[in-house]
Amino acid sequence: MDNRKFIKAGLLASAASVMMSVNAYAGETEDALIAKVVDAYGGDSLTEMRSIRIQNNYKNSFPGQGYTPGYVEFTPLIQDAQIDVANERGSVEGWSANWNFNFNTRTVSVDDDIVAINYSAGTYQPAAAPDYYTAFGPVIRVSDTLLAYELAKRPETAEYQGATTYVGQPHELISFEIPNSPPLTLYVNSETGYISKMARATGFGDLTYQFGNHTSANGVGYAADFEFFVGPDINIISMSRTASVNSVRSTAFRIDRGIEAEPERIDGSEMSVNELADGVHFAGQTPAGGAGAYTVFVDAGDHVIAVGGYGGLQARYDAYKEAAGHDKPLRYQIVTHHHTDHLGGMADANAMGATFVTPANAVGNLNTAAGEDIPEDRLQVLDEKMTLGPVEIYDISTNHMASMALVYIPSIKAVFQADHYNGTYAGDVVSPGGSGTVALKKAIAALDLDVDTVLSAHGSKIIPWSEFEAAATNYDPDPCPGGRAICR
């Protein structure tokens, strides 16, 4: 870090007069406003800060992922972020336990690498985000203190954006940049110099970060209240936030004793089409850093039945037809459940004129994803059980969602399911299961299905029943399996 780039708080005295004459001196308006922010957040205590630890008790929602499509539940999220700003290292531990899943993970800088530790599984792997700002940018952006620090660190990227009234009070707007993010616009309270809000426009829409109830720790200011919005929707609420400055120890930046390298994952980076049996193909891809997207295509004579609706359906269908060596039409698309990530390919299916078979509670989200209300003659709403040529479809309920179309293909004794077990690891290594794995196993037993193979909407593995069963048996429902301080 280059301390010489910091603007010192001494410029504050001239701030008022400079702001009266925007553009008179390029950069001076920005410098004055930056100085005002730095002064509010502690002056030298901020600019010479070496590390900050921010502990959050959040409530977090996952849009489009509710138990029903009616609303989205909030789940607890405890987060312990330790950021060594002087050396650009981070350690961010998260913990949650709720109706849908438990997790306890930590993303941490270790020497020149960034690794992701999974305390539930007792494993680590390289983090999906390979550099400081990609891995820890999300933590920087939710902290007004770190935003003030970064603003002061890179004044050459700052641009004054004028004055406005926000929550009834005069504010000055200034935009600036940190690596690997669209520009950040800060709303600086004209009177106090505190940051009330940060806004940025991303591919996910307009994101708003709101800060309030400013206080200080070790002479450095921070907002004790925080909320995060995606578009108009509240996404994260901080129930409490505390901060401490220069308390992060270097022992945070290593892999804990007893945590082992994760088993080898299946490489799904290329599109694959796997012929499971005559007329049954399993196609899809797991893009680097993204969610796997897989569909089963069943040849039903003069047409094809597809199950699994992630985005990219057309590409999977094209790859399937090439592998199968025919050009049969997609007549039926089975919708697994109402979660919006599993409906990303429904516009493709609609364009192909497919008839949709769907749980009743997914129709609204299906119409939205398809881009129009599906006409009645192309909509078949699932009711308990339906037989569609070579496949059987059961409407089941688990902890993950109120209604899911579980597809059973009797000819190969296979089920296709979404989000209950992925089979992430290569070979015969059992992956960590969740409460959903246990719930699905119970639902399959209740239907008395004879299952040899489990297929997942998220992974290419042809999962033997024995592996699925072992994952359910191995699942430890203890929400704090590693005994970490964050969940005790």
> Which residues here bind Zn ion, judged by CB under 5 A?
339, 419
> Could you tell me the smallest distance in angstroms from the CB atom of residue 443 to Zn ion?
15
CB of 466 to Zn ion, least distance (A): 25
How are the residues of the chain apportioned to helix, strand and coil, as percentages rounded to the nearest 5?
Answer: 25, 40, 35
Residue 63 CB, nearest approach to Zn ion (Å): 12
Least CB distance to Zn ion at residue 277 (A): 27
Round to whole Å and give the CA distance between 214 and 458.
Answer: 43
| Minimum separation from the CB atom of position 419 to Zn ion (A) | 4
Classify burial at 254, counting beta carbons within 10 Å of its beta carbon; exposed 0-12, middle 13-18, buried 19 or more: middle
**CA distance readout (Å), 207 to 187, 232, 275, 471:** 14, 9, 43, 37
The nearer residue to Zn ion, 395 or 419, going by C-beta atoms, is 419
Q: Are 16 and 130 in contact (CB under 8 A)?
A: no
CB of 424 to Zn ion, least distance (A): 16
Nearer to Zn ion (CB atom), residue 84 or residue 419: 419
The gap between the terminal CA atoms of the chain, to the nearest Å, is 36
Residue-by-residue DSSP string for 369-411: HHTSPPPGGGEEE--SEEEETTEEEEEE--SS-S-EEEEEEGG
Alpha-carbon 435 to chain mean position: 19
- Nearest-CB residue for Zn ion: 339
Residue 376's identity, in one-letter code, is E
Q: Which is nearer to Zn ion, 227 or 419 (CB)?
A: 419
**Would you state the structure tokens that stand for residue 51, as one six-digit string?**
């590390």
C-alpha dihedral sign at 109, 112, 114, 120: negative
CB atoms inside a 10 Å sphere around CB 208: 18
- 419 vs 467, beta carbon nearer Zn ion: 419
Are the C-beta atoms of 423 and 467 separated by less than 8 Å?
Answer: yes
- Closest contact distance (angstroms) between CB of 361 and Zn ion is 12
Closest approach, Cβ 64 to Zn ion, in A, equals 9
Q: How many residues does the chain have?
A: 488
Which residue lies nearer to Zn ion by CB, 92 or 357? 357
Which residue number, 100 or 431, has a Cβ lying nearer to Zn ion? Answer: 100
- In sequence order, the β-bridge partners of residue 265 are 425
For the four alpha carbons of 415, 70, 382 and 283, in that order, the dihedral sign comes to negative
Q: Please tell me what DSSP assigns to residue 349.
A: H
Cβ proximity to Zn ion, 211 vs 421, nearer residue = 421
Structure tokens at 33: 């406003």
101 or 465: whose CB is closer to Zn ion? 101
Q: Measured from the CB of residue 405, what is the shortest distance to Zn ion in angstroms? A: 12
Considering beta carbons, is residue 145 or 358 the nearer one to Zn ion?
358
**CB closer to Zn ion out of 137 and 436:** 436
Label the pairing between strands 404-409 and 391-396.
Answer: antiparallel
Determine how β-strand 404-409 pairs with β-strand 379-381: unpaired
**Closer residue to Zn ion (CB): 291 or 462:** 291
Tell the smallest beta-carbon distance from residue 199 to Zn ion (Å): 30
Give the shortest CB-68-to-Zn ion separation in angstroms. Answer: 12
User: What are residue 334's phi and psi, to 5 degrees?
Assistant: -95, 125
**304-314: string of b/e by CB count within 10 Å (b at 16+)?**
bbbbbbbbbbe
